[in-house]
Amino acid sequence: PILVDLDATGHALMFLGLADVFEGLVGAGPLQAILDATTSLLHDAARTVLHLVTLPAELPAREAVQLHARLVAERRVALGALVINRVPSSPFDTNDEEALEALEAFVPADVALGRRALRRVQHAHARVAQLRHELPLPTVVLAERDALRAAGSDRRVLAALGRDFAAQLGGAA
């Protein structure tokens, strides 16, 4: 498989519509052959599938929903999975959350930071639930890997993300 990560929704749509832009501008020849081959590849569901990748935040989630609607309407490429990247895990377990109340009088700034982290997790998980509800695609949720990234182990981060991706899609990535 070849994975292409595009910066923004507009870039993805521009890439998918490139053949339309050049239609009629190029005559028969090598450039037309490349355009035809690329169009054929993108339209062949046996060879090409597009996975939508987003973050668990309001604007990227909204963009993913809009992109999905447009891709379904245009039927240019087969859709694969929805990948929600960088989903934070709670820094606390249930007992820790209860302990925040007791600690607030002693370390209010630390408790405020802990509550902020919890709200971030809650908002992200609400976005994941919203996306799962709005988009009828298999969903892959990839956790944040900042601890590994901070340790300077990009290959380990990619390997872990790849394992998570394959496991959640049943090995069919």
**Global pTM?**
0.77
Instruction: Decide: residue 81, CB within 10 A, 0-12 exposed, 13-18 middle, 19+ buried.
Output: buried
What separation, in Å, do the N-terminal and C-terminal C-alpha atoms of the chain show?
A: 8
Asked if residue 132 has pLDDT above 50, the reply is: yes
3-state percent breakdown (helix, strand, coil) of the chain, nearest 5: 60, 10, 30
**Phi-psi region at 90: left, alpha or beta (left = phi > 0; alpha = psi -120 to 50):** beta
Q: In a 3-state reduction of DSSP, which class is residue 79?
A: strand
Question: Is there a contact between 82 and 51 (Cβ–Cβ < 8 Å)?
Answer: yes
Question: Rounded to whole angstroms, what are the CA distances from 69 to 134, 137, 141?
Answer: 10, 12, 21
The per-residue pLDDT for 147 is 56
Higher pLDDT pick, 146 / 114: 114
Residue-wise pLDDT for 51-83, tens only, equals 999 999 999 999 999 999 999 998 888 999 999
Mean pLDDT rounded to a whole number for the chain: 84
Instruction: Decide: residue 68, CB within 10 A, 0-12 exposed, 13-18 middle, 19+ buried.
Output: buried
The per-residue pLDDT for 173 is 44
Residue-wise pLDDT for 85-103, tens only, equals 999 988 787 777 778 778 8
Question: Is there a contact between 71 and 65 (Cβ–Cβ < 8 Å)?
Answer: no
* Cα 123 to chain centroid, rounded: 16
Report the distance separating Cα 85 and Cα 64, nearest Å.
12
